[in-house]
Amino acid sequence: MKKTIQTIVLIISIVACTSRSTTAGEGDEKIILIKTEYGNMKVKLYNETPLHRDNFIKLVEEKFYDDLLFHRVIKGFMIQGGDPNSKGASAKKRLGGGGPGYEIPAEIKAGLYHKKGALSAARTGDNANPERKSSGSQFYVVQGKVYDNNALDQFEQKQKFQAVRAEAMKIFRQKKALIQQLQKEGLRDSINAIQIQIQEEAEKKVDQSQFKINEERRLIYTSIGGTPHLDGAYTVFGEVIEGLNVIDSIANVQTAPGDRPLEDVIMSMEIID
């Protein structure tokens, strides 16, 4: 019983500290009200991500987001909006490619996690966008799910495996001509030796400690929940401080192929603090 109480206290403390330490900066955090027919969400913008903060404030002041849609909704994952092309869009219109005509440099910060309620910047994929620049206007709010420790252990191992495999493929491409020549000569033992060498080199090049899920992050995902696989890949620049239930309500709407809600989920925003 004592251990359980200590764990609960630790969770509350970490969540509280995360909310402050991950939004540290000069001045108070700006609060944005996102209004929908499903209820309102109060969102705090982090001072640690000033480029995204200032851009979001500018767009809200310009009424950019008013009458836009949450055009992409995936239950158990997130709700996404901010495409200017969604304003008054017909049911068959393809959405998700619009923006204000510019991108924002990534501000991916350690300790800013994709917990439930995280406000994060959408972006194009790594192949077309290796610098991970954010869309100038599109954002998503995380719903995610709660994980148990076993699931997080498996996730940790999967991340390590994928990183080593990616590095191994780079080394393989460098040695591809040699391997092909050995195949022609039928030197199977030499090929096996090279494969072992590639694996060993890949494991040495990858800092596998970076995939370790620390206690703070583990407690967040086993209590609040979220989408840990997005950590370190997308900019988190705020969080919902009131109205988490609104995320659930929007995430539960029926969607068409392509994840657009069958009935429009319209938003408007204003600065309240």
Residue 273, pLDDT score: 84
CA distance 18 to 257: 37
pLDDT in tens, 166-216: 999 999 999 999 999 999 999 999 999 999 999 999 999 888 777 889 999
* Contact (CB, 8 A) for 144 and 115: yes
What confidence tier does 27 reach under pLDDT thresholds 50, 70, 90?
low
CA distance 234 to 230: 6
Bridge partners, 269 (sequence order): 34
pTM of the model: 0.82
* Contact (CB, 8 A) for 39 and 245: yes
What confidence tier does 15 reach under pLDDT thresholds 50, 70, 90?
very low
What average pLDDT does this structure show over 126-136?
Answer: 96
What confidence tier does 229 reach under pLDDT thresholds 50, 70, 90?
very high
- Domain positions in the chain are 2-146+224-271, 149-211
Residue 38, pLDDT score: 98
Tokens of 212: 């370790």
What would the DSSP string read from start to end of 162-193? HHHHHHHHHHHHHHHHHHHHHHHTT-HHHHHH
Q: Which CATH superfamily is domain 2-146+224-271 in?
A: Cyclophilin-like (2.40.100.10)
CA distance 196 to 147: 35
Residue 9, pLDDT score: 40
What average pLDDT does this structure show over 94-117?
Answer: 97
